[in-house]
Amino acid sequence: MNFEFSDEQNLLREQAQGFLQSKCPIEAVRAVLEGDQAFDETLWKGIAEMGWTATTIPEAYGGIGLGYLELCVLAEEMGRSLAPVPFSSSVYLATEMLLMCASDAQKQAWLPGLADGSIIGTFAVAEGAKAPSRHNLETRVTDGVMNGCKIPVPDGDVANFTVVLACDGDQHSLYLVDLKSSGVTRRTLKSIDPTRSYAELRFDSVDAELLGEAGTGFALTDALFERAAILFAFEQVGGAHASLEMAKAYALERYAFGRPIASFQAIKHKLADMYIALTLAHSNCYYGAWALSTNAAELPLAAATARVSATEAFHECSKENIQTHGGMGFTWEFNCHLYYRRAKALALNLGSLTRWKDKLVTQLEESNKLSVSN
């Protein structure tokens, strides 16, 4: 079993790093943070022209038909650069859901636009602070007409369409909604990370098109989140790595008492703890990439493992990066808080860390039972 990326995939990584270093310097991230735009439209156009939005879309629908390993490579570099674009919502969530369960007509309608970046998609499941369940879902569809509210929806203020988890009678299904339809109201939300936008979407008698089989909404959502968790984990690892490199560089150049602070034991311990957390998460992400690319039976376990370790690693590295910078690390002028903001935002995109830890425990218990029975 080989968990290494191929030479071609590493070449893609180098290409992605070069492009993002040129087109997405930290100043571009701060411009979105401090400005009025929801995302960097110029960067998004460049990413689409590079073909990244078309990575896993088959050629029959305007894509380039690569695999999930290539998408994992790109996800890590997007996280490393803190790219302020709706890549995760449109690619990890909307595109993946269409590939999983859409009809051919639905794929023909939406995938070509997703592939060339002219269309942005998202996935709307949350309805406030409560975790959505079969008992509390309030968004409803009756005879193809949707009413309800979803909040928060990642990139909901800029998306062209959304996939919505809704209640239809006594069952729960997924629906496609064109966000340009009459009856759709959007409200941009304030969040800890303004470089990734969130919105409240309200549906007042909006036409909705069934996606996948009726009654499979929660099962499809769980399957999507398992796949997306691995991609988000790679993005988190990319951000964690950048945080570690930033802390290391500052520790080597900052002098106190006549020597670099990197020589102080307290700083060494911080950097060592960051490195350990990152290395563990990286290893688990590689396991997840293998499971995702092969659709292995271990995918649920691999997804939970990658998600938990990557979330903890990004939190650890972004937090200790601030601490390593000392008092200056807390200031607006330094860039440490950009990684901390992103770490906090990504930690909640697919549900809380507690939810994923519970899932990890459940998967480990099932794996142990299977091992005993065999």
The whole-number pLDDT of residue 347 equals 95
Which residue, of 118, 149, 165, is where some domain finishes?
118
Residue 51 placed within a domain: yes
Same domain flag for 245 and 355? yes
CA neighbor of 349 nearest in space, from 310, 301, 295, 299: 310
Looking at the fold, whether 18 and 49 belong to one and the same domain comes out as yes
**SS3 at position 187:** strand
Report the C-alpha gap between 15 and 336 in whole angstroms. 25
Q: How many CA atoms lie within 13 A of 333 on its CB side?
A: 3
Show the tokens assigned to 314. Answer: 């990004």
Residues 209 and 223 in one domain: no
* 229 in the same domain as 207: no
Same structural domain, 109 and 150: no
DSSP H or E stretch at residue 202: strand 198-207
- Euclidean distance between CA atoms 265 and 281, whole angstroms: 24
Residue 199 pLDDT = 97
Residue where one domain finishes, among candidates 154, 181, 215: 215
User: Under a CB-based contact definition with an 8 Å cutoff, are residues 174 and 212 in contact?
Assistant: yes
- Statement to judge: residues 63 and 112 lie in one domain: yes
Q: Give the pLDDT confidence score for residue 369 in this predicted structure.
A: 75
The CATH number of the domain where 166 resides is what? 2.40.110.10
Q: Cis bond leading into 154, ω under 30°? A: no
Residues 259 and 242 placed together within one structural domain of the fold: yes
Q: Domain containing 297: what range?
A: 218-373
Instruction: Tell me what pLDDT residue 297 has.
Output: 93
Q: Name the nearest CA neighbour of 243 among 348, 346, 356, 154.
A: 346
| Cβ pair 65, 58 in contact under 8 A | yes
The reply to whether 100 falls in a domain is yes
- Answer yes or no: do 152 and 264 share one domain: no
pLDDT tens, residue by residue, 96-136: 999 999 999 999 999 999 999 999 999 999 998 887 888 88
Q: What is the pLDDT of residue 327?
A: 84
Q: Does 75 share its domain with 160?
A: no
Q: Same domain, yes or no, for 306 and 230?
A: yes
User: Using one digit for the tens of pLDDT, what is the confidence trace for 134-160?
Assistant: 888 999 999 999 999 999 999 999 999
The gap from C-alpha 6 to its chain's centroid, in whole angstroms, comes to 23
Who contacts 1 (Cβ-Cβ below 8 Å, separation ≥6)? 290
Q: Phi and psi dihedrals of 72, rounded to 5?
A: -65, -40
For residue 2, tell me if it sits in a domain: no
User: Which residue is listed with tokens 């460049």?
Assistant: 46
CATH of the domain at 249: 1.20.140.10
Residue 93 maps to which CATH number?
1.10.540.10
Residue 100 and residue 77 share a domain: yes
- Tell whether 366 is covered by a domain: yes
Are residues 114 and 127 both part of a single domain? no
User: 195 near 229, Cβ under 8 Å?
Assistant: no
pLDDT at 129: 80
Domain boundary among 118, 139, 161: 118
Rounded to whole angstroms, the Cα distance separating 37 from 35 reads: 6
3 state DSSP class of 52? helix
- Max CA distance (Å), the chain: 74
Structural domain includes residue 290: yes
- Segments of the chain with pLDDT less than 50: none
**CB-count exposure of residue 311 (10 Å: 0-12, 13-18, 19+):** buried
Question: What is the tally of structural domains in the chain?
Answer: 3
